[in-house]
Amino acid sequence: MPNLLLTYKCNRNCPYCFAQERQNALNPDDPGIISWKNLVIAANYFEEAKDPLISVLGGEPTMHPEFISIYRYLLARKFTVKMFSNGMMSHEKIEGLLAALVPDRSRFIINVNQERDRAGHETKMQGQFFSELGMACSLSFNLFRPDPDMDFLLDIIGEYQLRPRIRLGLAHPIAGEPNEFISPEQYGDISETIAQFSKRCDHQGVILSLDCGFTLCDFTDAQLGMLLRSKANLKFRCGPVIDIGPDLNTWACFPLSKLRPQPLEAYPSLSALRKFYANFIVEETRKRGFAGVYKKCEPCRYRKRGQCHGGCRSYAFEEKN
């Protein structure tokens, strides 16, 4: 399902951030937060899609001044609310979330960085969040350097008894904007790091999930075996996620956010919007002769039969960076 952005504002400055350009563009006339009118319109689209899950994010969604009221409203409409957050918020907001919590419909995916990439107050604030809401939390970690040390994720899960799941995201180039990301030339090296980490996850009963943009060929058979044995969720795909901004403008995904944004209300349904972006991405990448991040993607049998999409489509537009 698509993601609903409550605000572009954030209280961190991650070097791989997909939303950085939109945060920098904020001005006093554009507070970058969703209004109640737009929230209701967006929620109606999700409801009509007959999917009880709604994903909210930002920026940092909890920075919306009416976040707790919004969270209560979405739960009252019987949505399962999956919130992507950095977990850095005031004690009052943590208490508000605790009071609103519906255990089987409240999910928090908390993005954490390595120690070298976070300020001291991040660790403290995230620890406070985990202490109170750990039972509903899982972790997210973004790979943007080829030498990550991920063992600390298992330490956090063990210390706070979080849900035993880790989402691994892969930072990609943003069409038209500078950011830090791992180049395809480094994918082969990082695949071994991921495979070895999956073994440690397996021993602790933690399940890895690979987000979009990974490439199948960069994992050896032995590495795939380690991942499958550890019950990792493997996805070698790239497709329109669809992000809905506070102003109800939409885009295919953050790496492609500057390419043909569309107003949500111009489409009768989320499925119609998804169809537009799916066709648009195929058409635009075909114009550029892009089959995948490698030349070998063109004849690849795994791509042709849909097992792998050849990495992130944002690389088709990398020359604009």
What's the confidence (pLDDT) of residue 79?
96
Task: Look at residue 178 and tell me whether its pLDDT is greater than 70.
Answer: no
Task: Look at residue 319 and tell me whether its pLDDT is greater than 70.
Answer: no
More confident residue, 75 or 254: 75
Q: 80-85 and 3-5: which strand pairing?
A: unpaired
d(CA 256, CA 244): 13
Q: Name the band, by pLDDT with cuts 50, 70 and 90, for residue 225.
A: very high
CB 210 within 8 A of CB 163: no
Q: How many CB atoms lie within 10 A of CB 104?
A: 7
CB 44 within 8 A of CB 265: no
Task: Look at residue 218 and tell me whether its pLDDT is greater than 90.
Answer: yes
Task: Look at residue 239 and tell me whether its pLDDT is greater than 90.
Answer: no
Q: Degrees (nearest 5) of the Cα angle 111, 114, 120?
A: 90
pLDDT digits (tens, 9 = 90+) for 276-296: 999 999 999 999 999 999 999
Exposed e or buried b per residue across 126-161, where buried means at least 16 C-beta atoms within 10 angstroms of its C-beta: bebbbebbbebbbbbbbbbbeebebeebbebbeebe
pLDDT digits (tens, 9 = 90+) for 47-80: 998 878 999 999 999 999 999 999 999 999 999 9
Average pLDDT over residues 240-264: 93
More confident residue, 119 or 220: 220
More confident residue, 39 or 19: 39
Exposed e or buried b per residue across 202-218, where buried means at least 16 C-beta atoms within 10 angstroms of its C-beta: beeebbbebbbbbbbbb
* Axis-axis angle for helices 151-160, 187-204 (nearest 10): 30
Kindly list the domain boundaries of the chain, sorted by start residue. 3-283
Q: Name the band, by pLDDT with cuts 50, 70 and 90, for residue 25.
A: low
Task: Look at residue 202 and tell me whether its pLDDT is greater than 90.
Answer: yes
Average pLDDT of the chain? Answer: 91
Average pLDDT over residues 119-130: 93
More confident residue, 119 or 94: 94
What's the confidence (pLDDT) of residue 24?
53
CB 100 within 8 A of CB 133: no
What's the confidence (pLDDT) of residue 147?
86
User: How many residues would you count in the chain?
Assistant: 321
Q: Name the band, by pLDDT with cuts 50, 70 and 90, for residue 249.
A: very high
Query: What CATH number does the domain located at 3-283 have?
Result: 3.20.20.70
Q: How far apart are the first and last CA of the chain?
A: 29
More confident residue, 321 or 221: 221
* Axis-axis angle for helices 36-48, 270-287 (nearest 10): 90
d(CA 236, CA 261): 25
pLDDT digits (tens, 9 = 90+) for 127-167: 999 999 999 999 999 998 888 999 999 999 999 999 999 99
What's the confidence (pLDDT) of residue 175?
62
